[in-house]
Protein backbone atom coordinates (compact mmCIF):
# COMPACT_ATOMS: atom_id res chain seq x y z
CA UNK A 1 0.00 0.00 0.00
CA UNK A 2 1.42 3.39 -0.96
CA UNK A 3 -0.10 5.39 1.88
CA UNK A 4 -0.38 4.65 5.62
CA UNK A 5 -3.48 6.88 5.83
CA UNK A 6 -5.13 4.78 3.12
CA UNK A 7 -4.32 1.63 5.08
CA UNK A 8 -5.83 3.17 8.20
CA UNK A 9 -8.97 4.12 6.29
CA UNK A 10 -9.40 0.60 4.86
CA UNK A 11 -8.88 -0.84 8.32
CA UNK A 12 -11.36 1.60 9.90
CA UNK A 13 -14.05 0.82 7.28
CA UNK A 14 -14.07 -2.79 8.48
CA UNK A 15 -15.97 -1.80 11.64
CA UNK A 16 -19.05 -1.62 9.40
CA UNK A 17 -21.05 -4.86 9.40
CA UNK A 18 -20.63 -7.00 6.29
CA UNK A 19 -17.53 -5.13 5.13
CA UNK A 20 -14.39 -7.24 4.68
CA UNK A 21 -10.95 -6.37 3.34
CA UNK A 22 -11.99 -6.30 -0.34
CA UNK A 23 -15.13 -4.19 0.11
CA UNK A 24 -13.24 -1.83 2.41
CA UNK A 25 -10.62 -1.34 -0.32
CA UNK A 26 -13.30 -0.72 -2.90
CA UNK A 27 -15.05 1.80 -0.62
CA UNK A 28 -11.82 3.66 0.19
CA UNK A 29 -10.82 3.89 -3.49
CA UNK A 30 -14.32 4.96 -4.47
CA UNK A 31 -14.39 7.78 -1.93
CA UNK A 32 -10.89 9.00 -2.85
CA UNK A 33 -11.37 8.73 -6.59
CA UNK A 34 -14.95 9.84 -7.07
CA UNK A 35 -16.56 11.37 -4.02
CA UNK A 36 -14.30 13.21 -1.61
CA UNK A 37 -17.10 15.62 -0.70
CA UNK A 38 -19.30 12.62 0.17
CA UNK A 39 -16.47 11.22 2.27
CA UNK A 40 -16.18 14.45 4.23
CA UNK A 41 -19.96 14.52 4.72
CA UNK A 42 -19.87 10.94 5.99
CA UNK A 43 -17.01 11.71 8.42
CA UNK A 44 -18.93 14.69 9.82
CA UNK A 45 -22.22 12.75 10.08
CA UNK A 46 -20.49 9.84 11.82
CA UNK A 47 -18.70 11.87 14.44
CA UNK A 48 -21.72 14.06 15.15
CA UNK A 49 -23.99 10.98 15.43
CA UNK A 50 -21.59 9.12 17.73
CA UNK A 51 -21.20 12.20 19.87
CA UNK A 52 -24.80 13.37 20.12
CA UNK A 53 -27.10 10.38 19.75
CA UNK A 54 -28.11 8.94 23.12
CA UNK A 55 -31.18 7.02 24.23
CA UNK A 56 -34.62 8.52 24.78
CA UNK A 57 -35.45 8.30 28.50
CA UNK A 58 -39.05 7.31 27.69
CA UNK A 59 -38.66 4.63 25.00
CA UNK A 60 -34.90 3.88 24.95
CA UNK A 61 -34.75 4.36 21.17
CA UNK A 62 -31.94 6.49 19.72
CA UNK A 63 -32.49 10.20 20.22
CA UNK A 64 -30.51 13.43 20.29
CA UNK A 65 -32.83 15.02 22.80
CA UNK A 66 -33.73 13.61 26.21
CA UNK A 67 -37.17 12.60 24.91
CA UNK A 68 -37.37 11.49 21.26
CA UNK A 69 -39.66 13.13 18.71
CA UNK A 70 -42.09 10.18 18.72
CA UNK A 71 -42.48 10.14 22.50
CA UNK A 72 -42.82 13.94 22.55
CA UNK A 73 -45.42 13.98 19.78
CA UNK A 74 -48.95 14.94 20.82
CA UNK A 75 -50.45 13.15 17.80
CA UNK A 76 -49.50 9.62 18.97
CA UNK A 77 -51.93 7.48 20.95
CA UNK A 78 -50.46 7.11 24.45
CA UNK A 79 -52.87 4.25 25.30
CA UNK A 80 -50.93 1.89 23.03
CA UNK A 81 -47.36 0.83 23.72
CA UNK A 82 -45.43 -1.51 21.40
CA UNK A 83 -42.36 -3.31 22.78
CA UNK A 84 -39.68 -4.21 20.22
CA UNK A 85 -36.19 -5.65 20.52
CA UNK A 86 -34.27 -3.11 18.46
CA UNK A 87 -34.52 0.31 16.78
CA UNK A 88 -34.50 -1.51 13.43
CA UNK A 89 -37.62 -3.47 14.44
CA UNK A 90 -39.30 -0.24 15.55
CA UNK A 91 -38.49 1.32 12.17
CA UNK A 92 -39.83 -1.74 10.28
CA UNK A 93 -43.16 -1.54 12.15
CA UNK A 94 -43.35 2.22 11.71
CA UNK A 95 -42.79 1.92 7.95
CA UNK A 96 -45.04 -1.12 7.32
CA UNK A 97 -48.04 -0.44 9.51
CA UNK A 98 -50.31 2.50 10.27
CA UNK A 99 -49.54 2.19 13.98
CA UNK A 100 -49.97 5.54 15.75
CA UNK A 101 -49.16 4.51 19.33
CA UNK A 102 -45.86 4.70 21.18
CA UNK A 103 -42.89 2.32 21.37
CA UNK A 104 -40.60 0.82 23.94
CA UNK A 105 -37.24 -0.41 22.63
CA UNK A 106 -35.72 -3.19 24.75
CA UNK A 107 -32.32 -2.99 23.01
CA UNK A 108 -32.03 -6.76 23.30
CA UNK A 109 -33.92 -9.79 24.61
CA UNK A 110 -33.78 -11.79 27.83
CA UNK A 111 -30.72 -14.02 27.68
CA UNK A 112 -29.54 -15.04 31.15
CA UNK A 113 -26.52 -16.93 29.79
CA UNK A 114 -25.22 -13.70 28.24
CA UNK A 115 -25.97 -11.78 31.42
CA UNK A 116 -28.93 -9.96 29.87
CA UNK A 117 -31.70 -9.80 32.44
CA UNK A 118 -34.70 -7.51 33.05
CA UNK A 119 -32.42 -4.67 34.24
CA UNK A 120 -30.43 -4.58 31.00
CA UNK A 121 -33.65 -4.36 28.98
CA UNK A 122 -34.86 -1.42 31.07
CA UNK A 123 -37.87 -3.36 32.32
CA UNK A 124 -37.84 -1.26 35.51
CA UNK A 125 -38.42 1.79 33.28
CA UNK A 126 -41.17 -0.10 31.44
CA UNK A 127 -42.80 -1.18 34.74
CA UNK A 128 -42.93 2.36 36.08
CA UNK A 129 -44.33 3.48 32.74
CA UNK A 130 -47.10 0.85 32.90
CA UNK A 131 -47.75 1.86 36.53
CA UNK A 132 -48.54 5.41 35.37
CA UNK A 133 -51.88 4.00 34.22
CA UNK A 134 -52.06 5.64 30.80
CA UNK A 135 -51.11 2.56 28.75
CA UNK A 136 -54.06 0.22 28.09
CA UNK A 137 -52.48 -2.30 25.72
CA UNK A 138 -48.91 -3.56 25.51
CA UNK A 139 -48.28 -4.88 21.98
CA UNK A 140 -45.39 -7.32 22.33
CA UNK A 141 -43.43 -7.42 19.07
CA UNK A 142 -40.30 -9.30 20.10
CA UNK A 143 -38.91 -11.69 17.47
CA UNK A 144 -40.50 -15.15 17.19
CA UNK A 145 -37.30 -16.86 18.40
CA UNK A 146 -36.84 -18.88 21.59
CA UNK A 147 -35.38 -15.92 23.47
CA UNK A 148 -37.89 -13.52 21.93
CA UNK A 149 -40.79 -15.74 23.05
CA UNK A 150 -39.36 -16.00 26.58
CA UNK A 151 -39.07 -12.22 26.68
CA UNK A 152 -42.67 -11.94 25.41
CA UNK A 153 -43.94 -14.17 28.24
CA UNK A 154 -42.07 -12.10 30.79
CA UNK A 155 -43.45 -8.86 29.35
CA UNK A 156 -47.00 -10.26 29.31
CA UNK A 157 -46.75 -11.09 33.03
CA UNK A 158 -45.41 -7.61 33.74
CA UNK A 159 -48.33 -6.10 31.82
CA UNK A 160 -50.94 -8.16 33.68
CA UNK A 161 -49.42 -7.12 37.01
CA UNK A 162 -50.19 -3.53 36.04
CA UNK A 163 -53.66 -4.32 34.66
CA UNK A 164 -52.48 -3.67 31.10
CA UNK A 165 -53.75 -5.94 28.32
CA UNK A 166 -50.81 -7.73 26.61
CA UNK A 167 -51.06 -8.68 22.92
CA UNK A 168 -48.70 -10.45 20.53
CA UNK A 169 -48.21 -10.14 16.77
CA UNK A 170 -50.07 -12.86 14.84
CA UNK A 171 -48.04 -15.88 13.74
CA UNK A 172 -48.87 -17.71 10.53
CA UNK A 173 -48.13 -18.19 6.86
CA UNK A 174 -46.42 -15.09 5.38
CA UNK A 175 -48.34 -13.32 2.61
CA UNK A 176 -47.11 -14.28 -0.84
CA UNK A 177 -45.40 -17.40 0.50
CA UNK A 178 -46.05 -20.93 -0.74
CA UNK A 179 -47.28 -23.51 1.76
CA UNK A 180 -44.83 -26.04 0.36
CA UNK A 181 -41.89 -23.95 1.54
CA UNK A 182 -43.24 -22.77 4.89
CA UNK A 183 -41.47 -24.43 7.85
CA UNK A 184 -43.37 -27.08 9.83
CA UNK A 185 -43.68 -25.12 13.07
CA UNK A 186 -45.20 -22.13 11.33
CA UNK A 187 -47.55 -24.28 9.23
CA UNK A 188 -48.72 -26.26 12.25
CA UNK A 189 -49.33 -23.03 14.17
CA UNK A 190 -51.19 -21.44 11.26
CA UNK A 191 -53.34 -24.57 10.86
CA UNK A 192 -54.22 -24.62 14.55
CA UNK A 193 -55.00 -20.89 14.62
CA UNK A 194 -57.18 -20.91 11.50
CA UNK A 195 -60.04 -18.44 11.56
CA UNK A 196 -63.47 -18.54 9.98
CA UNK A 197 -63.76 -16.70 6.68
CA UNK A 198 -66.14 -13.80 6.46
CA UNK A 199 -68.76 -14.07 3.74
CA UNK B 1 -37.00 8.06 12.34
CA UNK B 2 -36.52 9.37 15.86
CA UNK B 3 -33.38 11.40 15.23
CA UNK B 4 -32.46 13.77 12.39
CA UNK B 5 -28.74 13.06 13.00
CA UNK B 6 -29.43 9.35 12.52
CA UNK B 7 -31.21 10.10 9.26
CA UNK B 8 -28.25 12.19 8.12
CA UNK B 9 -25.85 9.38 9.00
CA UNK B 10 -27.88 6.79 7.07
CA UNK B 11 -28.03 9.13 4.13
CA UNK B 12 -24.29 9.85 4.26
CA UNK B 13 -23.41 6.13 4.42
CA UNK B 14 -25.01 5.70 1.01
CA UNK B 15 -22.03 7.38 -0.68
CA UNK B 16 -20.21 4.07 -0.15
CA UNK B 17 -20.43 1.78 -3.20
CA UNK B 18 -22.86 -1.12 -2.84
CA UNK B 19 -24.60 0.41 0.17
CA UNK B 20 -28.34 1.02 -0.20
CA UNK B 21 -30.96 2.21 2.29
CA UNK B 22 -31.22 -1.08 4.19
CA UNK B 23 -27.48 -1.70 4.56
CA UNK B 24 -26.95 1.93 5.54
CA UNK B 25 -29.55 1.53 8.31
CA UNK B 26 -27.89 -1.66 9.50
CA UNK B 27 -24.47 0.01 9.51
CA UNK B 28 -25.70 3.07 11.40
CA UNK B 29 -27.48 0.95 14.03
CA UNK B 30 -24.45 -1.32 14.37
CA UNK B 31 -22.07 1.59 14.96
CA UNK B 32 -24.40 3.28 17.47
CA UNK B 33 -25.30 0.10 19.34
CA UNK B 34 -22.06 -1.81 19.37
CA UNK B 35 -19.04 0.15 18.24
CA UNK B 36 -19.07 3.88 18.88
CA UNK B 37 -15.28 3.92 19.30
CA UNK B 38 -14.95 2.27 15.88
CA UNK B 39 -17.30 4.88 14.44
CA UNK B 40 -15.16 7.69 15.80
CA UNK B 41 -12.03 6.03 14.43
CA UNK B 42 -13.69 5.72 11.02
CA UNK B 43 -14.75 9.37 11.04
CA UNK B 44 -11.21 10.47 11.86
CA UNK B 45 -9.62 8.15 9.26
CA UNK B 46 -12.05 9.34 6.58
CA UNK B 47 -11.53 13.03 7.10
CA UNK B 48 -7.76 12.71 7.41
CA UNK B 49 -7.60 10.54 4.25
CA UNK B 50 -9.80 12.89 2.23
CA UNK B 51 -7.75 15.86 3.40
CA UNK B 52 -4.23 14.50 3.05
CA UNK B 53 -4.18 11.86 0.32
CA UNK B 54 -3.16 13.28 -3.05
CA UNK B 55 -1.47 11.71 -6.06
CA UNK B 56 2.21 10.78 -6.28
CA UNK B 57 3.88 13.01 -8.91
CA UNK B 58 5.88 10.04 -10.24
CA UNK B 59 3.30 7.27 -10.53
CA UNK B 60 -0.07 9.03 -9.96
CA UNK B 61 -1.08 6.48 -7.30
CA UNK B 62 -2.55 7.73 -4.01
CA UNK B 63 0.07 9.17 -1.69
CA UNK B 64 0.31 11.50 1.28
CA UNK B 65 3.77 12.68 0.30
CA UNK B 66 4.75 14.22 -3.05
CA UNK B 67 6.48 10.97 -4.06
CA UNK B 68 4.91 7.73 -2.79
CA UNK B 69 6.82 5.16 -0.73
CA UNK B 70 7.09 2.72 -3.66
CA UNK B 71 8.53 5.33 -6.06
CA UNK B 72 10.90 6.58 -3.35
CA UNK B 73 12.10 3.08 -2.43
CA UNK B 74 15.71 2.24 -3.38
CA UNK B 75 14.96 -1.49 -3.37
CA UNK B 76 12.63 -1.41 -6.41
CA UNK B 77 13.94 -2.09 -9.91
CA UNK B 78 13.67 1.20 -11.83
CA UNK B 79 14.23 -0.58 -15.18
CA UNK B 80 10.73 -2.06 -15.03
CA UNK B 81 7.58 0.06 -15.20
CA UNK B 82 4.09 -1.46 -15.00
CA UNK B 83 1.15 0.60 -16.27
CA UNK B 84 -2.23 -0.15 -14.62
CA UNK B 85 -5.64 1.48 -14.85
CA UNK B 86 -6.37 1.95 -11.16
CA UNK B 87 -4.80 1.85 -7.69
CA UNK B 88 -6.84 -1.31 -7.02
CA UNK B 89 -5.19 -3.03 -10.03
CA UNK B 90 -1.77 -1.95 -8.75
CA UNK B 91 -2.57 -3.43 -5.35
CA UNK B 92 -3.79 -6.70 -6.90
CA UNK B 93 -0.52 -7.09 -8.85
CA UNK B 94 1.57 -6.13 -5.84
CA UNK B 95 -0.19 -8.72 -3.66
CA UNK B 96 -0.32 -11.57 -6.21
CA UNK B 97 3.07 -11.38 -7.89
CA UNK B 98 6.67 -10.97 -6.80
CA UNK B 99 7.04 -7.91 -9.03
CA UNK B 100 9.75 -5.58 -7.69
CA UNK B 101 9.66 -2.86 -10.37
CA UNK B 102 7.78 0.43 -10.36
CA UNK B 103 4.22 1.34 -11.35
CA UNK B 104 2.40 3.97 -13.34
CA UNK B 105 -1.28 4.40 -12.49
CA UNK B 106 -3.34 5.82 -15.38
CA UNK B 107 -6.42 6.48 -13.19
CA UNK B 108 -8.62 5.45 -16.11
CA UNK B 109 -8.44 4.25 -19.71
CA UNK B 110 -8.66 5.98 -23.08
CA UNK B 111 -12.30 6.74 -23.76
CA UNK B 112 -12.71 9.61 -26.24
CA UNK B 113 -16.52 9.58 -25.94
CA UNK B 114 -16.21 10.36 -22.21
CA UNK B 115 -13.59 13.01 -22.89
CA UNK B 116 -10.77 10.89 -21.49
CA UNK B 117 -7.72 11.30 -23.70
CA UNK B 118 -3.95 10.94 -23.24
CA UNK B 119 -3.80 14.15 -21.16
CA UNK B 120 -6.30 12.88 -18.57
CA UNK B 121 -4.31 9.67 -18.15
CA UNK B 122 -1.11 11.63 -17.54
CA UNK B 123 0.55 10.18 -20.64
CA UNK B 124 2.67 13.35 -20.94
CA UNK B 125 4.10 12.50 -17.51
CA UNK B 126 4.64 8.90 -18.64
CA UNK B 127 6.32 10.04 -21.89
CA UNK B 128 8.81 12.28 -20.09
CA UNK B 129 9.48 9.41 -17.68
CA UNK B 130 10.22 7.02 -20.55
CA UNK B 131 12.40 9.74 -22.14
CA UNK B 132 14.61 9.75 -19.02
CA UNK B 133 16.08 6.49 -20.37
CA UNK B 134 16.06 4.46 -17.17
CA UNK B 135 12.99 2.35 -17.98
CA UNK B 136 13.80 -0.65 -20.23
CA UNK B 137 10.47 -2.48 -20.23
CA UNK B 138 6.92 -1.12 -19.98
CA UNK B 139 4.62 -3.87 -18.70
CA UNK B 140 1.14 -2.92 -19.88
CA UNK B 141 -1.43 -4.29 -17.44
CA UNK B 142 -4.59 -2.47 -18.53
CA UNK B 143 -7.78 -4.51 -18.36
CA UNK B 144 -8.55 -6.91 -21.23
CA UNK B 145 -11.61 -4.86 -22.28
CA UNK B 146 -12.08 -2.99 -25.56
CA UNK B 147 -11.01 0.31 -24.04
CA UNK B 148 -8.21 -1.33 -22.05
CA UNK B 149 -6.84 -2.92 -25.26
CA UNK B 150 -7.01 0.39 -27.13
CA UNK B 151 -5.11 2.02 -24.26
CA UNK B 152 -2.57 -0.82 -24.36
CA UNK B 153 -1.93 -0.25 -28.08
CA UNK B 154 -1.45 3.46 -27.52
CA UNK B 155 0.97 2.82 -24.63
CA UNK B 156 2.93 0.28 -26.71
CA UNK B 157 3.42 2.89 -29.46
CA UNK B 158 4.53 5.44 -26.90
CA UNK B 159 7.03 2.94 -25.47
CA UNK B 160 8.48 2.10 -28.90
CA UNK B 161 8.92 5.82 -29.66
CA UNK B 162 11.18 6.00 -26.62
CA UNK B 163 13.02 2.75 -27.40
CA UNK B 164 11.36 1.02 -24.46
CA UNK B 165 10.22 -2.62 -24.87
CA UNK B 166 6.43 -2.92 -24.33
CA UNK B 167 4.98 -6.15 -22.92
CA UNK B 168 1.43 -7.29 -22.13
CA UNK B 169 0.05 -9.69 -19.51
CA UNK B 170 -0.62 -13.17 -20.93
CA UNK B 171 -4.22 -13.99 -21.88
CA UNK B 172 -5.58 -17.50 -21.53
CA UNK B 173 -7.56 -19.96 -19.47
CA UNK B 174 -7.60 -18.95 -15.76
CA UNK B 175 -5.99 -21.43 -13.36
CA UNK B 176 -8.55 -23.63 -11.62
CA UNK B 177 -11.21 -22.81 -14.21
CA UNK B 178 -13.08 -25.39 -16.26
CA UNK B 179 -12.80 -25.22 -20.05
CA UNK B 180 -16.54 -25.78 -20.36
CA UNK B 181 -17.25 -22.46 -18.65
CA UNK B 182 -14.51 -20.34 -20.21
CA UNK B 183 -15.86 -17.78 -22.68
CA UNK B 184 -15.29 -18.40 -26.39
CA UNK B 185 -12.94 -15.46 -27.01
CA UNK B 186 -10.62 -16.50 -24.20
CA UNK B 187 -10.69 -20.16 -25.20
CA UNK B 188 -9.97 -19.37 -28.84
CA UNK B 189 -7.09 -17.09 -27.81
CA UNK B 190 -5.67 -19.69 -25.41
CA UNK B 191 -5.92 -22.36 -28.10
CA UNK B 192 -4.10 -20.19 -30.64
CA UNK B 193 -1.40 -19.21 -28.17
CA UNK B 194 -0.71 -22.74 -26.92
CA UNK B 195 2.87 -23.42 -25.94
CA UNK B 196 4.97 -26.57 -26.07
CA UNK B 197 5.18 -28.44 -22.78
CA UNK B 198 8.54 -28.87 -21.15
CA UNK B 199 9.58 -32.48 -20.45
CATH number of the domain enclosing A110 = 3.40.1360.10
Residue B140: what pLDDT?
A: 94
A46 and A119 both lie in a single domain = no
B70 and B31 both lie in a single domain = no
> If DSSP codes are grouped into helix, strand and coil, which group holds residue B168?
strand
Our CA-based measurement puts residue B191 at a distance from the nearest CA of chain A, in whole angstroms, of: 33
Residue B1: what pLDDT?
A: 67
A70 and A160 both lie in a single domain = yes
- Residue B183: inside a domain, yes or no? no
Percentage of chain A lying above the pLDDT 70 cut: 99
Interatomic CA distance for residues A27 and B161, integer angstroms: 38
How many Å is the maximal CA-CA distance in chain B? 72
Interatomic CA distance for residues B83 and B163, integer angstroms: 16
- Residues on chain B touching A102 (C-beta within 8 angstroms): none
A97 and A27 both lie in a single domain = no
Which one of A3, A18, A70 has the shortest CB-CB distance to B53?
A3
- Residue A59: inside a domain, yes or no? no
B88 and B163 both lie in a single domain = yes
Q: What is the pLDDT of residues A134-161, one digit of tens each?
A: 999 999 999 989 999 999 999 999 999 9
Nearest to A21 by CA among A5, A33, A9, A34: A9
Instruction: Give the bridge partners for B138, in sequence order.
Output: B81, B166
- Residue A17: inside a domain, yes or no? yes
A69 and A47 both lie in a single domain = no
Do B46 and A39 contact (CB within 8 A), yes or no? yes
Which one of A23, A26, A49 has the shortest CB-CB distance to B9?
A49
- Residue A101: inside a domain, yes or no? yes
A45 and A69 both lie in a single domain = no
Q: Do B68 and A3 touch (CB under 8 A)?
A: yes
- Give A1's pLDDT tier (boundaries 50, 70, 90): low
A70 and A159 both lie in a single domain = yes
- Give A193's pLDDT tier (boundaries 50, 70, 90): confident
Residue A95: what pLDDT?
A: 86
Interatomic CA distance for residues A98 and B109, integer angstroms: 52
Instruction: Give the bridge partners for A81, in sequence order.
Output: A102, A138
A104 and A33 both lie in a single domain = no
- Residue A176: inside a domain, yes or no? no
Question: What is the residue-level pLDDT of chain B in tens, covering all 199 positions?
Answer: 678 899 999 999 999 999 999 999 999 999 998 899 999 999 999 999 999 999 999 999 999 999 998 999 999 999 999 999 999 899 889 888 889 999 999 999 999 898 899 999 999 999 999 999 999 999 999 998 999 999 999 999 999 999 999 999 888 888 887 888 888 888 888 888 888 887 7
Q: Do A9 and B47 touch (CB under 8 A)?
A: no
- Output the domain CATH number for residue A27: 1.10.8.420
Rg (CA), chain B: 22
> If DSSP codes are grouped into helix, strand and coil, which group holds residue B82?
strand
B41 and B120 both lie in a single domain = no
Interatomic CA distance for residues B63 and B53, integer angstroms: 5
B28 and B81 both lie in a single domain = no
Do A80 and A101 contact (CB within 8 A), yes or no? yes
Interatomic CA distance for residues A62 and B3, integer angstroms: 7
Q: Is the ipTM of this complex over 0.95?
A: no
- Please, which residues 80-139 of chain A have a Cβ atom closer than 8 Å to chain B? 86-88, 91, 107
Helices (H), B100-196: 123-131, 146-161, 184-192
Residue A2 has pLDDT above 80, yes or no: no
- Residue A189: inside a domain, yes or no? no
CA distances, A49 to each of A162, A198, B114 (Å): 36, 50, 38
- Residue A185: inside a domain, yes or no? no
Q: Do B2 and A43 touch (CB under 8 A)?
A: no
pTM of the model: 0.78
Q: What is the pLDDT of residues A90-133, one digit of tens each?
A: 988 988 888 999 999 999 999 989 889 999 999 999 999 999 99
- Residue B123: inside a domain, yes or no? yes
Interatomic CA distance for residues B94 and A54, integer angstroms: 44
Number of separate domains in chain B: 2
Q: What is the pLDDT of residues A167-184, one digit of tens each?
A: 998 888 888 878 888 888
B77 and B120 both lie in a single domain = yes
Cβ count near B108 (within 10 Å): 17
Residue A198 has pLDDT above 90, yes or no: no
Domain interval for residue B100: 65-168
Amino acid sequence: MTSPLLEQLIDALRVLPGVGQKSAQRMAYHVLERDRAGGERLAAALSSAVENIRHCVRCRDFSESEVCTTCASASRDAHLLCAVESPADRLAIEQATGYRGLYFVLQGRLSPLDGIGPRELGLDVLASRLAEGEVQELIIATNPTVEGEATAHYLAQLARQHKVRPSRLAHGVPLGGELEYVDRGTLSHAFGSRSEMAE
